[in-house]
Structure 1
Amino acid sequence: MKKTIIIVDDHILFAKSLHGLLKTYEDFEVVEIFKNGQEVVDYFNFGHTQPDLVLLDIKMPVKDGLETMMWLKENYPEQKALALTMEHDENYIIKMIRNGCRGYLLKDIEPDEFLYALQSVLNSGYYYSDEVSEAMIKGGPGKKFRNLTPRELEFLSHACSEMTYKEVAGEMNLSPKTIDGYRESLFEKLEVKSRIGLVLFAIKNDLYQV
Protein backbone atom coordinates (compact mmCIF):
# COMPACT_ATOMS: atom_id res chain seq x y z
CA MET A 1 0.00 0.00 0.00
CA LYS A 2 1.32 3.43 -0.91
CA LYS A 3 2.25 5.92 1.79
CA THR A 4 0.10 9.03 1.68
CA ILE A 5 1.53 12.54 1.70
CA ILE A 6 0.14 16.06 2.07
CA ILE A 7 2.16 18.95 0.63
CA VAL A 8 1.81 22.34 2.33
CA ASP A 9 3.49 25.19 0.45
CA ASP A 10 2.28 28.59 -0.70
CA HIS A 11 4.51 28.48 -3.79
CA ILE A 12 2.12 26.69 -6.13
CA LEU A 13 4.64 26.02 -8.89
CA PHE A 14 7.06 24.41 -6.43
CA ALA A 15 4.28 22.36 -4.83
CA LYS A 16 3.14 21.03 -8.21
CA SER A 17 6.72 20.26 -9.23
CA LEU A 18 7.17 18.38 -5.96
CA HIS A 19 3.96 16.50 -6.67
CA GLY A 20 5.37 15.53 -10.04
CA LEU A 21 8.56 14.24 -8.44
CA LEU A 22 6.62 12.20 -5.89
CA LYS A 23 4.65 10.58 -8.71
CA THR A 24 7.91 9.03 -9.89
CA TYR A 25 8.28 7.22 -6.54
CA GLU A 26 6.05 4.16 -6.69
CA ASP A 27 5.66 3.86 -2.92
CA PHE A 28 4.13 7.32 -2.33
CA GLU A 29 0.88 9.09 -3.17
CA VAL A 30 0.07 12.79 -2.74
CA VAL A 31 -3.49 13.10 -1.46
CA GLU A 32 -3.70 16.89 -1.04
CA ILE A 33 -1.79 20.10 -1.75
CA PHE A 34 -2.45 23.06 0.56
CA LYS A 35 -1.25 26.67 0.43
CA ASN A 36 -0.99 27.27 4.18
CA GLY A 37 -1.33 25.67 7.58
CA GLN A 38 -4.91 26.78 8.11
CA GLU A 39 -5.98 24.58 5.21
CA VAL A 40 -4.27 21.67 6.98
CA VAL A 41 -6.16 22.44 10.19
CA ASP A 42 -9.44 22.56 8.26
CA TYR A 43 -8.61 19.25 6.59
CA PHE A 44 -8.03 17.52 9.93
CA ASN A 45 -11.04 19.17 11.57
CA PHE A 46 -13.29 17.87 8.81
CA GLY A 47 -12.31 14.36 9.85
CA HIS A 48 -10.36 13.35 6.77
CA THR A 49 -7.98 10.42 7.03
CA GLN A 50 -4.57 11.36 8.42
CA PRO A 51 -1.75 11.11 5.91
CA ASP A 52 1.37 9.14 6.65
CA LEU A 53 3.44 12.29 6.24
CA VAL A 54 3.03 16.06 5.98
CA LEU A 55 5.64 17.97 3.95
CA LEU A 56 5.55 21.42 5.45
CA ASP A 57 6.99 24.74 4.31
CA ILE A 58 7.96 27.13 7.11
CA LYS A 59 7.28 30.65 5.83
CA MET A 60 3.62 30.82 4.71
CA PRO A 61 0.75 33.28 5.04
CA VAL A 62 -2.32 32.81 7.30
CA LYS A 63 -0.74 30.01 9.39
CA ASP A 64 2.97 29.33 8.97
CA GLY A 65 4.88 26.10 9.46
CA LEU A 66 5.70 26.65 13.12
CA GLU A 67 2.10 27.51 14.02
CA THR A 68 0.97 24.44 12.12
CA MET A 69 3.44 22.20 13.95
CA MET A 70 2.29 23.60 17.29
CA TRP A 71 -1.31 22.79 16.35
CA LEU A 72 -0.42 19.29 15.19
CA LYS A 73 1.58 18.62 18.36
CA GLU A 74 -1.40 19.59 20.50
CA ASN A 75 -4.08 17.82 18.46
CA TYR A 76 -2.33 15.05 16.52
CA PRO A 77 1.02 14.45 18.27
CA GLU A 78 1.59 11.19 16.41
CA GLN A 79 1.39 12.89 13.00
CA LYS A 80 4.72 12.75 11.18
CA ALA A 81 5.83 15.96 9.49
CA LEU A 82 8.97 17.00 7.67
CA ALA A 83 9.97 20.61 7.06
CA LEU A 84 10.81 21.46 3.44
CA THR A 85 12.03 25.01 3.23
CA MET A 86 14.48 27.61 1.97
CA GLU A 87 14.95 28.84 5.54
CA HIS A 88 18.21 27.98 7.25
CA ASP A 89 17.63 29.86 10.51
CA GLU A 90 18.77 27.45 13.23
CA ASN A 91 16.51 28.92 15.92
CA TYR A 92 13.41 28.63 13.75
CA ILE A 93 14.21 25.08 12.70
CA ILE A 94 14.92 24.04 16.30
CA LYS A 95 11.51 25.39 17.30
CA MET A 96 9.97 23.25 14.54
CA ILE A 97 11.76 20.15 15.83
CA ARG A 98 10.82 20.86 19.45
CA ASN A 99 7.20 21.00 18.32
CA GLY A 100 7.32 17.56 16.75
CA CYS A 101 8.79 18.06 13.28
CA ARG A 102 10.77 14.93 12.38
CA GLY A 103 13.53 16.71 10.46
CA TYR A 104 14.08 19.37 7.86
CA LEU A 105 15.11 19.61 4.22
CA LEU A 106 16.30 22.52 2.15
CA LYS A 107 14.46 22.91 -1.14
CA ASP A 108 17.63 22.53 -3.17
CA ILE A 109 18.08 18.95 -1.94
CA GLU A 110 18.96 16.26 -4.47
CA PRO A 111 16.07 13.90 -5.42
CA ASP A 112 17.90 10.83 -4.09
CA GLU A 113 18.43 12.47 -0.70
CA PHE A 114 14.79 13.60 -0.70
CA LEU A 115 13.63 10.02 -1.21
CA TYR A 116 15.97 8.84 1.54
CA ALA A 117 14.51 11.49 3.88
CA LEU A 118 10.95 10.32 3.22
CA GLN A 119 11.88 6.72 3.86
CA SER A 120 13.81 7.62 7.02
CA VAL A 121 10.92 9.51 8.59
CA LEU A 122 8.39 6.80 7.77
CA ASN A 123 10.62 3.89 8.78
CA SER A 124 12.64 5.18 11.73
CA GLY A 125 10.74 8.28 12.79
CA TYR A 126 13.31 10.97 11.98
CA TYR A 127 15.40 12.27 9.11
CA TYR A 128 19.00 13.16 9.79
CA SER A 129 21.45 14.83 7.49
CA ASP A 130 24.50 12.75 6.66
CA GLU A 131 26.42 14.26 9.56
CA VAL A 132 23.92 13.14 12.19
CA SER A 133 23.31 9.74 10.61
CA GLU A 134 27.01 9.02 10.56
CA ALA A 135 27.38 10.07 14.18
CA MET A 136 24.64 7.67 15.24
CA ILE A 137 26.09 4.72 13.35
CA LYS A 138 29.72 4.92 14.42
CA GLY A 139 30.20 2.90 17.58
CA GLY A 140 26.58 3.15 18.69
CA PRO A 141 25.11 5.92 20.84
CA GLY A 142 25.93 4.32 24.19
CA LYS A 143 29.66 4.60 23.62
CA LYS A 144 29.31 8.29 22.79
CA PHE A 145 27.19 9.07 25.84
CA ARG A 146 29.79 7.61 28.18
CA ASN A 147 32.21 10.22 26.85
CA LEU A 148 29.95 13.13 27.81
CA THR A 149 30.50 14.94 31.09
CA PRO A 150 27.57 15.99 33.31
CA ARG A 151 28.12 19.63 32.35
CA GLU A 152 28.15 18.74 28.66
CA LEU A 153 24.86 16.91 29.09
CA GLU A 154 23.45 19.94 30.90
CA PHE A 155 24.62 22.18 28.06
CA LEU A 156 23.09 19.80 25.51
CA SER A 157 19.72 20.06 27.24
CA HIS A 158 19.89 23.86 27.15
CA ALA A 159 20.99 23.77 23.50
CA CYS A 160 17.69 22.05 22.71
CA SER A 161 15.76 24.96 24.17
CA GLU A 162 15.01 28.32 22.58
CA MET A 163 17.77 30.03 24.53
CA THR A 164 20.65 31.68 22.72
CA TYR A 165 24.17 30.52 23.58
CA LYS A 166 24.61 33.74 25.56
CA GLU A 167 21.47 32.97 27.58
CA VAL A 168 22.70 29.40 28.14
CA ALA A 169 25.94 30.83 29.56
CA GLY A 170 23.92 32.92 32.02
CA GLU A 171 21.74 29.95 32.98
CA MET A 172 24.79 27.78 33.68
CA ASN A 173 26.72 30.63 35.37
CA LEU A 174 29.55 30.24 32.88
CA SER A 175 31.32 32.58 30.50
CA PRO A 176 30.36 32.60 26.81
CA LYS A 177 33.89 31.34 26.06
CA THR A 178 33.33 28.28 28.25
CA ILE A 179 30.00 27.63 26.54
CA ASP A 180 31.75 27.83 23.18
CA GLY A 181 34.12 25.18 24.49
CA TYR A 182 31.25 22.84 25.44
CA ARG A 183 29.66 23.36 22.03
CA GLU A 184 32.84 22.55 20.14
CA SER A 185 33.48 19.55 22.36
CA LEU A 186 30.04 18.13 21.64
CA PHE A 187 30.40 18.82 17.92
CA GLU A 188 33.57 16.73 17.99
CA LYS A 189 32.31 13.93 20.26
CA LEU A 190 28.97 13.51 18.48
CA GLU A 191 30.47 14.26 15.06
CA VAL A 192 27.89 16.88 14.11
CA LYS A 193 28.43 20.34 12.70
CA SER A 194 25.49 22.42 13.87
CA ARG A 195 23.12 23.09 16.74
CA ILE A 196 20.37 21.43 14.71
CA GLY A 197 22.48 18.28 14.61
CA LEU A 198 22.83 18.39 18.40
CA VAL A 199 19.08 18.78 18.87
CA LEU A 200 18.14 15.93 16.53
CA PHE A 201 20.72 13.65 18.12
CA ALA A 202 19.49 14.47 21.63
CA ILE A 203 15.80 13.97 20.80
CA LYS A 204 16.33 10.71 18.94
CA ASN A 205 18.38 9.27 21.79
CA ASP A 206 16.03 10.44 24.58
CA LEU A 207 18.54 12.91 25.96
CA TYR A 208 15.88 15.57 25.53
CA GLN A 209 12.11 15.13 25.59
CA VAL A 210 10.00 17.16 23.16
Structure 2
Amino acid sequence: MNKSIIIVDDHKLFAQSLQILVNSFDGFHVDHVFKNGEELVKHLEEGPGSPDIVLLDMRMPVMDGMQTMKWLKENHPEQKVLALTVDQEDESIIRMLRLGCRGYLLKDIDPEELEHALNAIDRTGYYSNKTISDALSREERQKKYEELTKREFEFLNLACSEKTYKAIADEMNLSPKTVENYRESLFQKLHVKSRVGLVIYAIKEGLMEV
Protein backbone atom coordinates (compact mmCIF):
# COMPACT_ATOMS: atom_id res chain seq x y z
CA MET A 1 0.00 0.00 0.00
CA ASN A 2 1.36 3.40 -0.99
CA LYS A 3 2.33 5.89 1.71
CA SER A 4 0.10 8.96 1.58
CA ILE A 5 1.71 12.36 1.01
CA ILE A 6 0.30 15.87 1.32
CA ILE A 7 2.13 18.80 -0.29
CA VAL A 8 1.68 22.29 1.18
CA ASP A 9 3.25 24.96 -1.03
CA ASP A 10 1.92 28.21 -2.45
CA HIS A 11 3.95 28.02 -5.69
CA LYS A 12 1.52 26.23 -7.96
CA LEU A 13 4.00 25.17 -10.65
CA PHE A 14 6.48 23.82 -8.12
CA ALA A 15 3.77 22.00 -6.20
CA GLN A 16 2.39 20.37 -9.34
CA SER A 17 5.85 19.31 -10.48
CA LEU A 18 6.57 17.93 -7.01
CA GLN A 19 3.33 15.98 -7.08
CA ILE A 20 4.23 14.35 -10.40
CA LEU A 21 7.71 13.52 -9.10
CA VAL A 22 6.51 11.98 -5.82
CA ASN A 23 3.87 9.94 -7.65
CA SER A 24 6.65 8.47 -9.78
CA PHE A 25 8.37 7.05 -6.68
CA ASP A 26 7.63 3.47 -5.76
CA GLY A 27 5.47 3.25 -2.64
CA PHE A 28 4.34 6.88 -2.42
CA HIS A 29 1.29 8.80 -3.62
CA VAL A 30 0.25 12.45 -3.23
CA ASP A 31 -3.30 12.55 -1.94
CA HIS A 32 -3.70 16.34 -1.71
CA VAL A 33 -1.93 19.59 -2.58
CA PHE A 34 -2.65 22.72 -0.53
CA LYS A 35 -1.36 26.25 -0.97
CA ASN A 36 -0.99 27.18 2.72
CA GLY A 37 -1.14 25.80 6.21
CA GLU A 38 -4.69 26.98 6.77
CA GLU A 39 -5.93 24.64 4.05
CA LEU A 40 -3.99 21.77 5.62
CA VAL A 41 -5.47 22.51 9.05
CA LYS A 42 -8.99 22.55 7.62
CA HIS A 43 -8.39 19.23 5.89
CA LEU A 44 -7.00 17.57 9.03
CA GLU A 45 -9.88 18.88 11.13
CA GLU A 46 -12.48 17.63 8.67
CA GLY A 47 -10.72 14.66 7.07
CA PRO A 48 -10.87 10.98 7.97
CA GLY A 49 -7.20 10.72 8.94
CA SER A 50 -3.66 12.09 8.71
CA PRO A 51 -1.21 11.47 5.83
CA ASP A 52 1.96 9.48 6.37
CA ILE A 53 4.16 12.48 5.49
CA VAL A 54 3.57 16.20 4.91
CA LEU A 55 5.92 18.11 2.60
CA LEU A 56 5.68 21.61 4.03
CA ASP A 57 6.97 24.83 2.50
CA MET A 58 8.45 27.13 5.15
CA ARG A 59 7.46 30.39 3.45
CA MET A 60 3.81 30.81 2.51
CA PRO A 61 1.13 33.49 2.83
CA VAL A 62 -1.88 33.18 5.18
CA MET A 63 -0.30 30.48 7.39
CA ASP A 64 3.39 29.73 6.88
CA GLY A 65 5.43 26.65 7.76
CA MET A 66 6.32 27.82 11.26
CA GLN A 67 2.71 28.59 12.18
CA THR A 68 1.61 25.28 10.68
CA MET A 69 4.19 23.34 12.70
CA LYS A 70 3.02 25.05 15.91
CA TRP A 71 -0.55 23.91 15.18
CA LEU A 72 0.59 20.40 14.31
CA LYS A 73 2.64 20.12 17.51
CA GLU A 74 -0.44 20.98 19.55
CA ASN A 75 -2.96 18.95 17.58
CA HIS A 76 -1.07 16.21 15.66
CA PRO A 77 2.29 15.82 17.43
CA GLU A 78 3.02 12.46 15.77
CA GLN A 79 2.62 13.83 12.24
CA LYS A 80 5.78 13.33 10.16
CA VAL A 81 6.73 16.55 8.38
CA LEU A 82 9.57 17.28 5.96
CA ALA A 83 10.23 21.00 5.53
CA LEU A 84 10.91 22.51 2.11
CA THR A 85 13.02 25.65 1.93
CA VAL A 86 14.85 27.81 -0.60
CA ASP A 87 17.63 28.91 1.76
CA GLN A 88 19.45 27.02 4.50
CA GLU A 89 18.72 29.29 7.46
CA ASP A 90 19.90 27.48 10.59
CA GLU A 91 17.80 29.47 13.07
CA SER A 92 14.53 28.90 11.18
CA ILE A 93 15.31 25.23 10.56
CA ILE A 94 16.22 24.65 14.21
CA ARG A 95 12.94 26.29 15.23
CA MET A 96 11.07 23.96 12.87
CA LEU A 97 12.88 20.91 14.28
CA ARG A 98 12.05 21.95 17.84
CA LEU A 99 8.41 22.11 16.80
CA GLY A 100 8.54 18.50 15.62
CA CYS A 101 9.66 18.69 11.99
CA ARG A 102 11.56 15.51 11.01
CA GLY A 103 14.04 17.07 8.58
CA TYR A 104 14.35 19.53 5.74
CA LEU A 105 15.16 19.70 2.04
CA LEU A 106 16.38 22.52 -0.15
CA LYS A 107 14.05 22.96 -3.10
CA ASP A 108 16.83 22.53 -5.65
CA ILE A 109 17.78 18.98 -4.60
CA ASP A 110 18.03 16.07 -7.00
CA PRO A 111 14.95 13.81 -7.35
CA GLU A 112 16.96 10.88 -5.95
CA GLU A 113 17.58 12.81 -2.73
CA LEU A 114 13.87 13.51 -2.31
CA GLU A 115 13.05 9.83 -2.74
CA HIS A 116 15.76 8.93 -0.24
CA ALA A 117 14.38 11.49 2.23
CA LEU A 118 10.83 10.14 2.01
CA ASN A 119 12.05 6.59 2.54
CA ALA A 120 14.23 7.66 5.47
CA ILE A 121 11.39 9.44 7.24
CA ASP A 122 9.04 6.53 6.59
CA ARG A 123 11.61 4.01 7.85
CA THR A 124 13.36 5.82 10.73
CA GLY A 125 11.16 8.82 11.47
CA TYR A 126 13.87 11.35 10.54
CA TYR A 127 15.89 12.53 7.58
CA SER A 128 19.44 13.83 7.81
CA ASN A 129 21.28 14.37 4.56
CA LYS A 130 24.99 14.10 3.85
CA THR A 131 25.50 17.85 4.27
CA ILE A 132 24.16 17.48 7.81
CA SER A 133 25.46 14.15 9.04
CA ASP A 134 27.41 11.05 8.13
CA ALA A 135 25.51 7.78 8.52
CA LEU A 136 26.14 6.04 11.82
CA SER A 137 24.50 2.96 13.28
CA ARG A 138 22.66 3.36 16.56
CA GLU A 139 25.41 1.38 18.30
CA GLU A 140 28.05 3.77 16.95
CA ARG A 141 25.97 6.80 17.92
CA GLN A 142 25.59 5.48 21.46
CA LYS A 143 29.34 5.00 21.74
CA LYS A 144 29.99 8.55 20.53
CA TYR A 145 27.32 9.85 22.93
CA GLU A 146 29.10 8.23 25.90
CA GLU A 147 32.35 9.99 24.96
CA LEU A 148 30.92 13.50 25.44
CA THR A 149 32.14 15.61 28.35
CA LYS A 150 29.85 17.53 30.71
CA ARG A 151 30.73 20.82 29.03
CA GLU A 152 30.11 19.34 25.60
CA PHE A 153 26.65 18.29 26.77
CA GLU A 154 26.08 21.81 28.01
CA PHE A 155 27.14 23.25 24.67
CA LEU A 156 24.99 20.71 22.77
CA ASN A 157 21.94 21.73 24.79
CA LEU A 158 22.53 25.41 24.05
CA ALA A 159 23.25 24.71 20.38
CA CYS A 160 19.76 23.21 20.13
CA SER A 161 18.29 26.57 21.11
CA GLU A 162 17.97 29.61 18.89
CA LYS A 163 20.88 31.38 20.61
CA THR A 164 23.74 32.66 18.50
CA TYR A 165 27.20 31.21 19.08
CA LYS A 166 28.19 34.53 20.71
CA ALA A 167 25.25 34.27 23.13
CA ILE A 168 26.21 30.65 23.88
CA ALA A 169 29.79 31.76 24.64
CA ASP A 170 28.50 34.45 27.00
CA GLU A 171 26.20 32.01 28.83
CA MET A 172 28.98 29.43 29.22
CA ASN A 173 31.46 32.16 30.26
CA LEU A 174 33.78 31.14 27.45
CA SER A 175 35.51 32.90 24.61
CA PRO A 176 33.96 32.56 21.11
CA LYS A 177 37.09 30.61 20.09
CA THR A 178 36.57 28.04 22.86
CA VAL A 179 32.94 27.63 21.83
CA GLU A 180 34.12 27.05 18.26
CA ASN A 181 36.40 24.32 19.59
CA TYR A 182 33.47 22.64 21.37
CA ARG A 183 31.46 22.83 18.17
CA GLU A 184 34.20 21.27 16.06
CA SER A 185 34.78 18.57 18.69
CA LEU A 186 31.10 17.62 18.62
CA PHE A 187 31.04 17.65 14.83
CA GLN A 188 33.91 15.17 14.86
CA LYS A 189 32.66 12.96 17.70
CA LEU A 190 29.05 12.75 16.49
CA HIS A 191 29.88 12.68 12.77
CA VAL A 192 27.72 15.69 11.96
CA LYS A 193 28.60 18.59 9.71
CA SER A 194 26.40 21.46 10.87
CA ARG A 195 24.49 22.91 13.79
CA VAL A 196 21.29 21.52 12.30
CA GLY A 197 22.95 18.11 12.35
CA LEU A 198 23.60 18.51 16.08
CA VAL A 199 19.93 19.32 16.67
CA ILE A 200 18.73 16.31 14.68
CA TYR A 201 21.17 14.09 16.58
CA ALA A 202 19.92 15.43 19.93
CA ILE A 203 16.27 14.87 18.97
CA LYS A 204 16.85 11.34 17.66
CA GLU A 205 18.79 10.37 20.80
CA GLY A 206 16.20 11.88 23.13
CA LEU A 207 18.61 14.51 24.47
CA MET A 208 16.05 17.27 23.96
CA GLU A 209 12.29 17.42 23.79
CA VAL A 210 10.45 18.72 20.75
Letter in 1 for 2:204: K
Pair 1:65-2:62 in alignment: no
Report the equivalent of 1:56.
56
Residue 31 of structure 2 is matched in structure 1 by 31
TM-score of the aligned structures, taking structure 2 as reference length: 0.95
Which range moved further: 187-196 or 7-16?
187-196
Q: Which runs of 5+ in 2 are unaligned?
A: none
**Residue number in structure 2 paired with 1:8:** 8
TM-score (norm 1): 0.95
- The one-letter code matched in structure 2 to 1:161 is S
**Contact 1:58–1:83 (CA under 8 A) maintained in structure 2:** yes
Would the aligned equivalents of 1:121 and 1:127 in 2 still touch at CA under 8 Å? Answer: yes
Alignment match, 1:155: 155
Partner-residue secondary structure (3-state), 2:55: strand
CA contact (8 A) 1:19 1:30 kept: yes
Does the alignment pair 1:44 with 2:44? yes
Q: Distance in 2 between matches of 1:169 and 1:179?
A: 6
SS of residue in 2 equivalent to 1:134: coil
Q: Percent identity?
A: 56
Report the alpha carbon displacement of residue 135 of structure 1 after superposing the two structures with TM: 4.5
Report Cα offsets for 1:162-188 as digits up to 9, x if no partner: 111111112222222221111111112
The C-alpha deviation readout for 1:1-28, integer Å capped at 9, x for no partner, is: 1110000001000000001111211311
Counterpart residue type for residue 29 of structure 2 = E
Deviations 1:98-156 (A, max 9, x none): 10000001111111111110011011100011255525239611211122111001100
Q: Equivalent residue for 1:84? A: 84
One-letter identity of the residue aligned with 2:150: P
Give the Cα separation in 2 of the matches to 1:3 and 1:138. 25
Secondary structure of the residue aligned to 1:136 is: coil
- Cα RMSD (Å) of the superposition? 1.5
1:166 aligned to 2:161?
Answer: no
Q: Secondary structure at the match of 2:109?
A: coil
1:114 paired residue number: 114
> What does residue 185 of structure 2 align with?
185
Number of equivalences: 210
1:116 and 1:135 map into 2 onto residues whose CA distance is: 13
Contact 1:58 1:87 (8 Å CA) reproduced? no
Q: Any gaps of 5 or more consecutive residues in structure 1?
A: none
Runs of 4+ that moved beyond 4 A = none
Task: Give the Cα–Cα distance (whole angstroms) in 2 for the partners of residues 139 and 188 of structure 1.
Answer: 17
